[in-house]
Structure 1
Amino acid sequence: MDDPVRWVPYCGEAPGPEAWLSRWNFDPVLGAFLLLAAVALLHSPAARALPPVRRRSLGGAWALTVLLYVSPLCALSSTFFTVRVVHHIALVLLVAPLLAHGMAPWLRGARVPLWTATAAATVVFWVWHAPAPYAAALSSDALYAVMQLTLLISAVAFWLGVRQSQPTAAMGAILATTVQMGLLGALIMFAARALYAPHFASMLSWGISPLEDQQLAGLLMWAPGSMAYLVAAMCIGWRWLRSERADALRTRPA
């Protein structure tokens, strides 16, 4: 087993159950980034010109980012692989679509190839959940930042591509992503041994084994994670059917 002293990820050393609630992240670099993001996304002239619903989306994305990286959830993700997976699912399924929705008016001229974006988001997600790249990201603050940014940027591109595409293509891309998310979750859940070295010793004080933690993380990715994509596809399909029905009623002879 790896020496736990090696693993001091960006969110700090893994806290025990008695300390994690006090572990807020006041990194000045993160604070400066969040301040600049708040100005650009919420208070700039371009942001104030957005419709209220777009501004609410951007505000929600910003607030979720604060929750993920400033609150004690950040420190808890150093302990549990499950919490790290929750972080990543929240990035790609909550923060990214909120950003894509909010920024859509700013990016009208930028066409995102849907299937290229789908492939890129899939590759990025799978790479960072392979044991070796994951362990490397928890050994380097710079690589950790690369992991988080590539997950977010690729997911924003995916959701922009979905928004710009015809309903059938958008649903196809979302369903493909549902399958890959479920497959990765199943592979993690049914692995015969613990795979993620940074968490081998981090949860001993919690009375949970690394394999149990990994199995729960895989289950969350497999079930709620993939189901969230499926719900998004169903919503697009429902709106498409309603639109088609409304068009048919308008064109029907009196």
Structure 2
Amino acid sequence: MWVVPSIGGTRLLGVLFFGSCMVLAPALTAHGADQESGGWSLPGAILIPLDLAVLLYAAGMARLWRQAGVGRGVALWQPGSFAAGWALLVAALLSPLHELGDRLFTAHMIEHEVLMIAAAPALVLSRPLGAMLWSFPRAIRRHIAGTVRWPIVRVTWRGLTEPASATVLHGFAIWSWHMPVLFRAALAREPVHWLQHVSFLASALLFWWALLSSRTRRKSYGASVFYLFFTSMHCGLLGAILALSKNEIFVTRNSAAAQWGLSALEDQQLGGLIMWVGASAFYLAAALILAAFWIGSGSSAVKKIGSGAVPSEINAVPIYGMQERRRNHSALVSSEVTRPGMRDQK
């Protein structure tokens, strides 16, 4: 059932903002708690981008729905996907899981899998860039839309989001950070640790964007299925190496393994098992789902699964303003990008 766009957008903005406060409430109440007990962490470098992201998305979506109509530009289910991805980021980066990951390899592995196989695809499916763009004034939207159409930006983005290159980049991030020297550096230095998180999340976002993009036509769906199978297998291989090793490859500082009834080696093996079975199974399941889309690629579900490249996503929603299709100011407005030379609606 359709609602008045202005009321619906305002309500949704309030719901998302209230939801973000509720998610962070445990962190705020736990601030100052003993970190050894496993409390929430509140680094400003993470809190500010997370809060900014949800505010930009909600504000942009409210404005877009108010002008274009509820469900246009951003589908009704996509805000839920964004909220789920955002909440998973909070759980991985701010909850006690993050602090425990410094002292327990198994928790460290769970944290990274949440980022790569749960938060990343949920955020990609929400198509956040177009909605966030609409949170800015019309002049800034026009400038951003022009910038992303620069040839160097388009070529770079297309290169990063080609399925093959995105798969290689994602695999490189996974394997390189599990080299003992880099793993120890991440635990010893907090900036390196956050760089590890950023590289995992960024490469996963590119990977899922490439595979869930509407730019992927029927002839390349088979290739995307292959890349998911390939990722499942190389993650399984890395997990098997860790799970079957008889030697301690990774030793966390101030290890909490004993508190969980594990030796350091058993902690490593359990973490490897999570990657070997859990992560590999998720990639495999995604491959099977994509294969089903491939088989039925003539259906509308496949045509609408993703957003394509950044310029395509931006072009999918109004940028500069709305034009009325009828002179009598009917509720039906255009959802296409207005040409710069055309008059914008205030």
Same fold (TM over 0.5): yes
Corresponding residue of 1:40: 56
Q: Which has the larger radius of gyration?
A: 2
| 1:72 alignment partner, one of 56, 72, 96 | 96
Distance 1:32 1:180 in 2: 35
TM-superposed deviation, 1:159: 0.9
Corresponding residue of 2:285: 231
User: How do 1:92-241 and structure 2 match up within 5 A?
Assistant: 92-103=116-127, 106=130, 110-111=157-158, 112-164=161-213, 165=216, 166-199=220-253, 201-241=255-295
Query: 193-202 or 165-174: which moved more?
Result: 193-202
Query: 219-228 or 188-197: which moved more?
Result: 188-197
TM-superposed deviation, 1:29: 2.9
Corresponding residue of 1:251: none
Give the gaps of 5 or more residues in structure 2.
1-32, 66-72, 131-147, 301-346
Q: Secondary structure at the match of 1:180?
A: helix
TM-superposed deviation, 1:104: 7.0
Once the two structures are superposed, what CA deviation does each residue of 1:119-160 show, in whole Å capped at 9, x if it has no partner? 010010111112110110111221111111111111111111
Distance 1:124 1:13 in 2: 32
Contact 2:166 2:210 in 1 (8 A): yes
Distance 2:259 2:253 in 1: 12
Once the two structures are superposed, what CA deviation does each residue of 1:22-63 show, in whole Å capped at 9, x if it has no partner? x11122332222211211233335776522222221111111
Once the two structures are superposed, what CA deviation does each residue of 1:186-216 show, in whole Å capped at 9, x if it has no partner? 0111112111132573323333111000111
Distance 1:104 1:31, change over 3 A: closer
Q: Secondary structure at the match of 1:44?
A: helix
Distance 2:114 2:35 in 1: 21
Corresponding residue of 1:29: 45
Corresponding residue of 1:56: 80
Distance 2:35 2:261 in 1: 14
Return the structure number with greater relative CO, CA threshold 8 A, min gap 6. 1
Corresponding residue of 2:145: none
Contact 1:188 1:218 in 2 (8 A): yes
Distance 2:205 2:74 in 1: 18
Corresponding residue of 2:322: none
Corresponding residue of 1:249: none
TM-superposed deviation, 1:73: 1.4
Contact 1:78 1:202 in 2 (8 A): no
Contact 2:57 2:128 in 1 (8 A): no
Distance 1:14 1:81, change over 3 A: farther
Identity %: 27
Query: 65-74 or 39-48: which moved more?
Result: 39-48
Q: Secondary structure at the match of 1:126?
A: helix
Contact 2:248 2:264 in 1 (8 A): yes
- RMSD over equivalenced CA pairs, Å: 2.6
Question: Partner amino acid for 2:276?
Answer: W
Give the gaps of 5 or more residues in structure 1.
1-11, 247-254
Corresponding residue of 2:114: 90
More helix by share: 1
Distance 1:13 1:129, change over 3 A: farther
Query: 145-154 or 192-201: which moved more?
Result: 192-201
TM-score (normalised: structure 1): 0.82
Q: Secondary structure at the match of 1:52?
A: coil
Count of aligned positions: 230
Contact 2:112 2:200 in 1 (8 A): yes
Distance 1:172 1:193, change over 3 A: same
